[in-house]
Amino acid sequence: MGDEDPHNLGHDDNVPISEQGPAPKRIVVAYGFWIFLLSDFILFSGFFAGYAVLSGATAGGPAGRDLFELPLVATETALLLLSSFTCGMAGIALTARNMRWFQGAMAATFVLGAGFLALEAYEFAHLIGEGAGPSRSAFLSAFFALVGCHGLHVLLGLIWLTTMMAQVGAKGFRDDIERRVQCFALFWHALDIIWVAVFTMVYLMGAGA
């Protein structure tokens, strides 16, 4: 009994997993977050499918090639991709426990993400001002739903980001806060992946259609 490793208590390799003790909190959190990300990808898959079906349903109105300004959208894309890089730098600073670099990289991520949202809001306002709002056609309804849903996720990500900055600033690099920051980083990078798909399928293919 005196030779037992306390770290292995409740996790004997000879005992079935179903009969072992509860999993560590970090495992539960990571598992739950991956399920959340998967559900988000499923949500966007539905929006992509809807857009693919309705992309030609312009009801005699403007199509993507008549509306999309690729230089503007390319700038949006550059901002979001750069924000993914600064988010990665924040992760490196988190591992190094460097508060100044962490807060600076997170602040840069916020500014870039906010710039992306500002350009997207301008794009939406411009389209609606030209009479190409979501009620104009099924194509535009699908467009606003897909791109707007992604924009909403970016907005929620920015709120999450500021919360993480405040928590790290107030409480330091605690293990539980580090896990939350890592989850945020996964979420942010996932939004970048989804946006690349949006940029390719909606804007590039739409502008050339």
Domain positions in the chain: 27-208
**pLDDT tens digits, residue range 36-85?**
889 999 999 999 999 999 988 988 888 888 899 999 999 999 999 999 99
Contact of 117 with 158, CB cutoff 8 Å: yes
For the chain, give me the number of helices (H) and strands (E)?
7, 0
DSSP-derived letter for residue 20 is S
Q: What is the pLDDT of residue 166?
A: 96
Q: What is the pLDDT of residue 15?
A: 54
Identify each DSSP E strand in 87-186 by its residue range. Answer: none
Q: What is the pLDDT of residue 20?
A: 57
Q: What is the pLDDT of residue 146?
A: 97
147-162 in b/e form (b: 16+ CB < 10 A) is bebbbebbeebbebbe
Taken in order 42, 44, 47, 48, the sign of the CA dihedral is negative
pLDDT (tens, 9 = 90+) of the chain, 209 residues, equals 445 444 444 445 565 555 555 556 667 667 788 898 899 999 999 999 999 999 889 888 888 888 999 999 999 999 999 999 999 999 999 999 999 999 999 999 999 999 999 999 999 999 999 999 999 999 999 999 999 999 999 999 999 999 999 999 999 998 888 999 999 999 999 999 999 999 999 999 987 65
DSSP string, 27-84: HHHHHHHHHHHHHHHHHHHHHHHHHHHHTT--TTS--HHHH--HHHHHHHHHHHHHHH
Q: What is the pLDDT of residue 127?
A: 95
DSSP-derived letter for residue 104 is H
Task: Tell me which residue has tokens 């924000």.
Answer: 83
Please name the CATH architecture into which domain 27-208 falls. Answer: Up-down Bundle (1.20)
Give the C-alpha separation, 86 to 89, whole Å: 5
Q: What is the pLDDT of residue 209?
A: 55
Residue 56 main-chain phi, psi, to 5 deg: -95, 0
Q: What is the pLDDT of residue 24?
A: 60
Q: Tell me the whole-structure pTM to 2 decimals.
A: 0.84
